[in-house]
Chain A
Amino acid sequence: MPRIGVFICHCGENIAGTVDTAAVAKNAADFPGVVHSIDYKYMCSDPGQNLIKEAIKEKKLTGVVVAACSPRMHEPTFRRACAESGLNPFLCEMANLREHCSWVHEKGEATTEKATDLVRIMVEKVKRNRPLYPISVPVTKTALVLGGGIAGIQAALDIANAGHKVVMVEREASIGGHMAQLSETFPTLDCSQCILTPRMVEVAQHPNITLYTYSELESLEGFIGNFKAVIRKKARSIDETTCTGCGACIQKCPTKKIPSEFNAQLGMRTAIYVPFPQAVPNKPVIDRKNCTFFKNGRCKLCERVCPAKALRYDQEDMLVELNVGAVVAATGYQVKDTDFFPEYGYGAHKDILTGLQFERLASASGPTQGVIKRPSDGQIPETVVFVACAGSRDPAKGINYCSKICCMYTAKHAMLYRHKVHSGKAYIFYMDIRAGGKMYEEFVRRAIEEDHVNYVRGRVSRIYKKNGKLIVKGVDTLLNSRPVEIEADMVVLATAMVAQPDAEALAQKMKVSYDENKFLSEAHPKLRPVEMNTAGIFVAGACQAPKDIPEAVAQASGAASKVIGLFSKDELSREPVVAVVSRMGPPDFSTCIGCFLCESACPYQAIEREEIKARDGRLIKTVAKVNQGVCQGCGTCVALCRSKSIDLQGFTNEQVFAELVTL
């Protein structure tokens, strides 16, 4: 038999001024199941809460309805009061007599009648409330960081420094990402590798961080606190434990003409190689596709010169299984190549470069030792044209968004060029100048005023070769759209920043959402920028959207703080407002008929398949099962289920029906 207590609050004059609270309490006393019904000035006050606590004990209440302000205000207060008297907090509901009644209606009979109805609705609901207990999900305190660029490095260090274990997985042979390829960074023009490499070393040496380079994520299963990741360690062909990084193999390798990825195809590397001298780990990798031994079975020079006997030609890919509690996706970006532009020659002209290629030319450790030289003939260019917004902000090219960093790095490139070639002329064709960060505007001003970079507002319609020069045809919109033609020695296109080519496949492996540009989707664009809809997976850096280094670092620390928060307890305690699939004894075991239309609808992929087997192992049926660690309690599955085999704790079908029937 239900024994419901009803407590009507006056809220001073806020409710009592418009609603006849005494009358409501009197009427409520006659509702079926109600054994205690009072009204009081301030239910949320200490004496008010004591009235509830005492009534629970004296009248042995099985449920409580507090008719007062909005539950969004004080539901936790009253639930706590109930819990303190031994009544399960989920057996307490609130009727909103203030925001939804006394504050929005005139004093009168209709308002008091509505108040009475609202109380009756909640009494009917609470009679069908079940005690609910927070769901505990154990947490494995190891984080998986995907990507070894600056964002991944920052996140890994933050989490490791907080005392938790981190596993970092990086696809290339070395961590560092694109930041390692940069010469100097805006707006300070400090040397990129100088600020990055100490961090890289810290990652490698940190006792809490396990680093897997030349490795990729093979699969990710599980849920928050309990992921199982499988990492594929690709075969380096080197025994990392014995290799000393002396580099003798690299020096002796006869295959020297492979375009270097690190140098953006502007320089060459050998088949056995380390991507760049400051690589972490400083252990080489054999590019089996281009290695003479792997192609024709002859050579093995590296093995002969290796003092540590570290060569392992028969090494195979290795799969490593990991249990992790959280994942940080920091897989970065790539830039569009020059062949994306038919109007600029389809990439056929060697002296038309991407911004990243220019970085390598400008870099002191680059293919030209920091001298700006034309790739075609090695001459120093006297006139360089920089084209901003090359591909970005262009619906016709399928890239609607702004790549954010190009305005800044174009100014930087022009400045670097002018610093190195004092007599050189630099032109930048731009649409807008987006310099919103700290000290950014001042930086661009320097380019214009101190380094005399010529900014031309207009787009470049065509670039073609003539007599060894690149003819750049553009327009100056600030001078009445006067056509501008420049004979350039080199052109640098600030090509669009886009998602990695396998971003979609990776997102699908992790079961996270991504947008039409294949950038990973954050949970909420403003208020949850580092979480994803998949609980336990966080995002940082340019894989989420184009951004510069300070933002990537900030976001990485943000993601790390979420992970650290998650790891701060041994168990994750979750609100029990989750969906549950009906289960019962044989022969049915569940009314669920296994159509799994709910599975595809769940926004959090919280519905799994459960095989129900007989004692002899025979499969009887496969039914839906809700992962209570992931379910957020929206109830979409409940409305979708035809046989009503799934229900939402806290908002069950019975409860909602009962509320309706009181009308």
Chain B
Amino acid sequence: MAEFEPKVVAFVCNWCTYAGADLTGTSRIKYSPNVRMIRLPCTGRIDFMLLLQAFGQGADGVIVSGCHPGDCHYTAGNFHARRRWILFRRLIEFMGIDLRRVHFAWVSAAEGAKWAELVTNVVDEVRKLGPYQSFPKRLDGQPKPVEVA
């Protein structure tokens, strides 16, 4: 039986973490291929519902990463994101959602090595936790986004 390989979704900001991941690439640092990145202009853009959606779509772990406080390309987007996460984390923890599967980080455009390390650590942790079976999934046949006419 194939060993369980976790699916991890990463929501990243364009200016810092996406660029940092690019640097990981140009530095040829290897990390696990389990991550799928969703590029957004800023962590401030990340709606908390997207994290739940990711789990609902079958993700076993989620990473959210952006610029360090004070370095946001849009000056304050990550500050707003941080507040949102402080509250969101508390709520989902209270409800019994596994916080070990949700990781927040600041990865700057210069931290290529940190990105690789982060992904590898998160994937390893989530692999040990196993698939996130208890989280409800979008039912098969639930409307997928409509084909655009």
Contacts and interface: CB of A to CB of B under 8 A. Distances in A.
- Note whether A and B contact each other (Cβ less than 8 A): yes
Contacts of B32: 105
A535 B7 CA distance: 41
A99 B22 contact: yes
Interface string B68-96: 00001111110011001000000000000
A70 B22 contact: yes
B144 A661 contact: yes
A110 B33 CA distance: 7
Name, among B26, B33, B36, B145, the residue most crowded by chain A CB atoms within 10 Å (CB to CB). Answer: B33
B74 to A, nearest CB: 4
B147 A634 contact: no
Contacts of A648: 41, 45
A639 B18 contact: no
Interface in B1-28: 5, 7, 9, 14, 18-19, 21-26, 28
A99 B58 contact: no
Contact of A100 (B25, B53, B59, B76): B25
Contact of B44 (A99, A103, A636): A636
Contact of A103 (B25, B47, B76, B147): B25
A577 B53 contact: no
B44 A639 contact: yes
A100 B45 contact: no
Contact of B54 (A124, A638, A658, A660): A660
A660 to B, nearest CB: 5
A663 B9 contact: yes
B25 A635 contact: no
Contacts of A533: 75
Contacts of A636: 42, 44-45, 74, 76-77, 80-81
B57 A660 contact: yes
Contacts of A103: 24-26, 28
Given A1-B149, A660-B50, A105 B74 contact: no
Contact of B46 (A104, A633, A639, A659): A639
Contacts of B84: 639
Contacts, number: 139
B33 A114 contact: yes
A298 interface: no
Interface stretch (A226-234, A334-342, A466-474, A649-657): A649-657
A639 B54 contact: no
A383 B24 CA distance: 64
A548 interface: no
A202 interface: no
B145 A121 contact: no
Contact of B148 (A117, A121, A127, A638): A127
Interface string B102-113: 000000000000
B31 A635 contact: no
A106 interface: yes
Contacts of B23: 99
B145 A657 contact: yes
Contacts of A356: none
A347 interface: no
A60 B39 CA distance: 28
Interface string B49-62: 01001100111000
Name, among B7, B31, B144, B148, the residue most crowded by chain A CB atoms within 10 Å (CB to CB). Answer: B148
Sorting the interface of chain A by its residue count into under 10, 10 to 19, 20 to 34 or 35 or more gives 35 or more
A334 B80 CA distance: 35
A348 interface: no
Given A124-B145, A654-B145, A72 B41 contact: no
A132 to B, nearest CB: 14
Contact of A106 (B21, B30, B45): B30
A486 B67 CA distance: 54
A71 B19 CA distance: 10
Nearest to A117: B36
Nearest to A127: B148
Interface residues of B, number: 52
A121 B53 CA distance: 15
Nearest to B54: A660
A629 to B, nearest CB: 16
Interface string A92-103: 000010111101
B53 A634 contact: no
Interface in A9-51: 32-33
A111 B144 CA distance: 26
B63 interface: no
Nearest to A99: B25
A663 B31 contact: no
A639 B25 CA distance: 30
B78 to A, nearest CB: 9
Name, among B24, B25, B76, the residue most crowded by chain A CB atoms within 10 Å (CB to CB). Answer: B25
B29 interface: yes
B126 interface: no
Contacts of B148: 2, 33, 127-128
Contacts of B122: none
Contacts of B19: 72
B108 to A, nearest CB: 13
B40 interface: yes
Interface string B122-149: 0000000000000000000000110111
Given A127-B148, A663-B9, A118 B36 contact: yes
Contact of A638 (B47, B58, B72, B81): B47
B13 to A, nearest CB: 9
B38 A659 contact: yes
A482 B64 CA distance: 58
Given A603-B76, A632-B74, A658 B145 contact: yes
A577 B7 CA distance: 30
A117 B38 CA distance: 12
Given A104-B30, A104-B31, A636-B44, A660 B74 contact: no
Contact of B59 (A603, A650, A656, A663): A663
Contact of B116 (A101, A104, A640, A659): A104
Contacts of B9: 660, 663
Given A635-B41, A657-B53, A660-B50, 4 more contacts: A103-B25, A106-B30, A660-B54, A661-B57
9 contacts: A2-B147, A70-B22, A72-B14, A99-B26, A117-B36, A634-B74, A636-B44, A636-B77, A651-B45
Interface of B: 5, 7, 9, 14, 18-19, 21-26, 28-34, 36-42, 44-48, 50, 53-54, 57-59, 72-77, 80-81, 84, 116, 144-145, 147-149
In the A-B complex, the 3 residue pairs with the smallest Cβ-Cβ separation, listed nearest first, are A99-B25, A635-B45, A636-B44
